[in-house]
Amino acid sequence: MKRLLLFSLMACVLQMVHATEKTIQSPQGNIVVQVSDENGSPAYKVQLNGVEFLKSSPLGVKLNCADLTKGLSLTDCQVKTVSDEYDLKTIKQSHVVYNATEAVCSFDKDGKKAMDVVFRLTERDVAFKYHIYPKRGTLAAVVEGEASGFVFPENTTTFLCPQSKPMGGFARTSPSYETSYSLDEPMGKNGWGEGYSFPCLFKNADKGWILVSETGTDGAYVACRLLNENANAYKIGFPQAGEMNGAGTTTAAVSLPFDTPWRTITIGTTLAPIVETTVANDLVKPKYAPSKDYTYGKGTWSWIIGMDSSCNFDEQKRYIDFAAAMGYRSVLIDALWDQQIGYDRMEQLAEYGRSKGVGIFLWYNSNGQWNDAPQSPRDKMDKSAPRRKEMAWMQKNGILGIKVDFFGGDKQQMMQLYEDILTDANDFGIQVIFHGCTLPRGWERMYPNYVASEAVLASENLHFGQGACDAEATNAAIHPFIRNTVGSMDFGGSTLNKRYNADNKSGTYRRTSDVFALATAVLFQSSVQHFALAPNNLEDAPQWAVQFMKDVPVNWDEVKFIDGYPGKYIIMARKSAGKWYVAGVNAQDQAVKQKISLPMFAKNVQLTAYTDDKDLNGACNTIKLKKGEFAVEMPKNGAFLLVGQAE
Ligand code: CA
């Protein structure tokens, strides 16, 4: 007994002595991560320019065959520099040059190599994933959960949207990442009891900002959420048991060796690194080659103004004419087209569109058996044989893409469905937009025919309720800082109708200005945009507004954060084809009045300026900047927009 006690004491001392800590730095040394194994539990902490952004936070995974969260010792961190360069038309930046520090930190358990934590550090992003080794001939394992945590400094505040409980909301379709944000709230809550949807924004008091998300998730894993454990400690959560009506697992079945998706942490003293980060796509690789040279563009969409009854032949023909008049590439034909138009007449519509140079996107229900969403076409997208038959029909008729709706949560089985739809669609040259869905996690680069996802309280809510219209500016001043920073966002906005109805005389009231509608076409990024414009806008909207909506690009070369605060106002700039578009919107009662410096424009260049007066009356003028500065004046629900040649 005495000997045993002595032995345990010695083991304890040995472990304490052997607690190892390794320090990793970003290429220029701004970000420092310390990795340790104190008491056998792997952990990391993050500093930016010597300031603490994450306190010691746990790492590790729990498998059904091994607990890789404790009893581990850090043996080594192999550090090297990695570089990559890629072109991607579907994200905020068309050409990305990536340089990072990679550190492979190896952990032993019971004297054997058990797991590597692979870190990547740039000057704005920290990311890590787990590489799990096979264990004594065990190749099939189940990942039951992760210890991966994020412990924030005291006084951090949160900008988060709660994850819905499963099988709630419209036709039991939740969770589908369609909840409202709480802004600047203290830490310590857990949403509505089920944590928060990614991406999650935190403010490190007056020291800076932190965005936590994940990327590289596909059918080999589950999509995760962020759970609050207590006070300032948050951790990765797996899907909820009730998703998919209780079918499917909350765990991930994997084949060893296995690499998990990446956990990403983007940090900065301002919001610029978060608005400008490309981390979601930097860390992934294409999963297949594009079957054709996919193109991108703008389109019209009757459903947002005209709802279900507008999905008929005559109205869609009118929207094709409208798209042609705008010089747009497509129309999106929403739910019930199979009943209200039918397949034969859809072929006629496709042919008519072709004669006008306008292609078609078609809506589909993802079901399946995971919720009650009744809209048809159903049962065409959930299984390979009918899906491929449908897609062959689309290809024959030149259909450009699909919008698939009403998915069933984040379980591995559902992540596999997203991947299967994308993979099959590529075989037939079809682009894919998801709605009622999860957040995309690096999918623009992983799947070359992927376009965008909803995963936001999108424009439909402006039609459904006045509350969403009243809060439109607040939300527009949130999404470019949070949801849209990590993935393309199919919002379906830029309404020029005064009311959300085809007669433009009934329905909810738009509170925002015409310039606001134009500004969000720049602020919200997606390479295929189906705007909430209506044919009557050719006559009843200002000519300058219609002209801008004809001209606005959908593919961007660069993005720059200028100023703003989530939920209050935003000013940012995007560049396309040698022109900068500087856009701002204001949600506060107080007008935003400030001078901004705009060195991105060529000297003495003439700019087109779209501005609002205090009553939200828009105007379009040609101006020249004085000393490279512009005096912003944005009333509540108003906006401004400057367009001009780049330096
Ligand atoms: Ca939706």
| CA 413 to ligand 1 centroid distance, Å | 21
| CA 505 to ligand 1 centroid distance, Å | 25
pLDDT at site 8: 53
| CA 221 to ligand 1 centroid distance, Å | 24
| CA 149 to ligand 1 centroid distance, Å | 30
- Cα–Cα dist 447/429, whole Å: 12
Those residues whose beta carbon sits under 5 angstroms from the ion ligand 1 are: 436
- Cα–Cα dist 324/316, whole Å: 12
pLDDT at site 13: 47
Distances (CA, A) of 627 to 575, 579, 582, 598, 633: 21, 19, 17, 9, 18
Q: Which two tokens stand for residue 514?
A: 């015409």
Helix (H, G, I), strand (E, B) or coil at 10: helix
| CA 82 to ligand 1 centroid distance, Å | 39
- At 324, the amino acid letter reads A
| CA 403 to ligand 1 centroid distance, Å | 11
| CA 163 to ligand 1 centroid distance, Å | 15
| CA 459 to ligand 1 centroid distance, Å | 8
- The set of residues, in sequence order, having a beta carbon less than 8 Å from that of 425 and lying 6+ positions away, is 391, 402, 431, 432, 449
| CA 292 to ligand 1 centroid distance, Å | 29
> Between β-strands 579-586 and 639-645, what pairing exists: parallel, antiparallel or unpaired?
antiparallel
Does residue 197 contact residue 256 with C-beta atoms inside 8 Å? no
pLDDT less than 70: residues of the chain: 1-18
| CA 565 to ligand 1 centroid distance, Å | 26
pLDDT in tens, 265-292: 999 999 999 999 999 999 999 999 999 9
Q: Counting every residue, how long is the chain?
A: 647
Name which of 457, 638, 573, 504 is nearest 93 in CA terms.
573
| CA 64 to ligand 1 centroid distance, Å | 36
| Opening angle at CA 109, ends 104 and 113, nearest 5 | 45
pLDDT at site 511: 98
First CA to last CA across the chain, in angstroms? 79
pLDDT at site 137: 87
pLDDT in tens, 471-527: 999 999 999 999 999 999 999 999 999 999 999 999 999 999 999 999 999 999 999
Helix (H, G, I), strand (E, B) or coil at 202: strand
- The set of residues, in sequence order, having a beta carbon less than 8 Å from that of 464 and lying 6+ positions away, is 508
pLDDT at site 638: 98
Helix (H, G, I), strand (E, B) or coil at 177: coil
Q: Which residue is associated with the tokens 């990614």? A: 198
